[in-house]
Amino acid sequence: MFHAEMIPPIAASVGDDVQVSGPPLQPSGPLTTYQTFLDSRPPSFETYAITEILSLAHLAPQLDLHIVHLSAVQAIPMLRDARARGVRVTAETCFHYLSLAAEAVQEGDTRHKCCPPIREQANQDGLWAELQRPDDSVIKTVVSDHSPCTPDLKLLPAGLAADPHRVGGADGDFFSAWGGISSVGLGLSILWTEGHARRNVTIEDVVRWCCRNTAKQVGLDGCKGDLGVGFDGDIAVFDDEATFVVEPSTMLFRNKCSPYEHKTLRGVVTETWLRGCKVFSRADGFVEKAGPMGKLLLEPRTRKAEA
């Protein structure tokens, strides 16, 4: 698994040739403006890293390569070409890259900071187009990449914080703020909201991206990611017509700091079942148990089939 961001090298100028890339520049605008941050991490950071990864694939041709949190659509042709040559490479993208756009980020709203960055609306549209290719998409899974932190680490201005008294003089500096998006517990609704707006996403698509392919990715497709005899009874009961507003009371993670705050989402998880036991309901909250119910998944894994 690879976080694919690298600063491209500077090529020496020879004759009339010019540098293939410039050095990483100091911020050229206000540090509280999202475009300044976005310009500091261009798509070339992702494409150069993926070029390096693919150039080494021949050293271990049976090794499965996976690009985590893909953001830049410019990397997609490279990945498709590599797969056509037999390289075992897949990629994932995230809820925030499929639902948030750079043009809409307000001044100082560091809740949107993550790496790779959230890019423009056209980039988001390109990710959706690739994800929805019926047979040969290089993006196989959609994940949260949940990276929570307290509002003070986000340096979120008091006017944007859900709990302003905890911020303490922050100034919305995108370059100094913690990088990461909080969306755990919201992801299914985020994806369904965006898919519904695009009018061509089914719940079967969501299951494939978030359940079936993720289980296959880690070799657990014999017990996870599907409903069937012998599979773990891991079930989300989902009301696909209900809507809700993301507020501190509806964010079930500890630190209520998310770029989705005040957004209306479509689709509500009403119950969650883990291995056949109900662990959560929207009406009653989390079911009290004597200790955690999670288990280490150390049983022998099946060989991952080509996704």
Q: What is the pLDDT of residue 235?
A: 95
pLDDT digits (tens, 9 = 90+) for 285-295: 888 776 677 88
**DSSP structural state of residue 31:** T
Q: What is the pLDDT of residue 134?
A: 78
Closest CA to 39 of 48, 29, 49: 29
**pLDDT band with cut points at 50, 70 and 90 for residue 24:** low
**Range of weakest confidence among 70-79, 157-166, 241-250:** 157-166
**pLDDT band with cut points at 50, 70 and 90 for residue 193:** very high
43-55 vs 76-84: helix crossing angle, rounded to 10? 20
- Could you give the percent of the chain with pLDDT greater than 70? 87
pLDDT digits (tens, 9 = 90+) for 208-253: 999 999 999 888 999 999 999 999 999 999 999 999 999 988 888 8
Q: What is the pLDDT of residue 253?
A: 84
Q: What are phi and psi of 125, to 5 degrees?
A: -60, -40
Between 256 and 124, name the one with better pLDDT: 124
Between 84 and 25, name the one with better pLDDT: 84
CA 279/CA 295 separation, integer angstroms: 14
User: How much is the pTM?
Assistant: 0.89
Q: Residue 20 pLDDT more than 60?
A: no
CA distances from 4 to 14, 54, 84, 101, 146 (A): 29, 11, 20, 20, 17
Closest CA to 282 of 252, 259, 258, 262: 252
- Joined together, the tokens standing for residue 236 give 């989300």
Fold for 32-227, please state it: TIM Barrel (3.20.20)
Q: What is the pLDDT of residue 14?
A: 46
Closest CA to 31 of 149, 168, 171, 161: 171
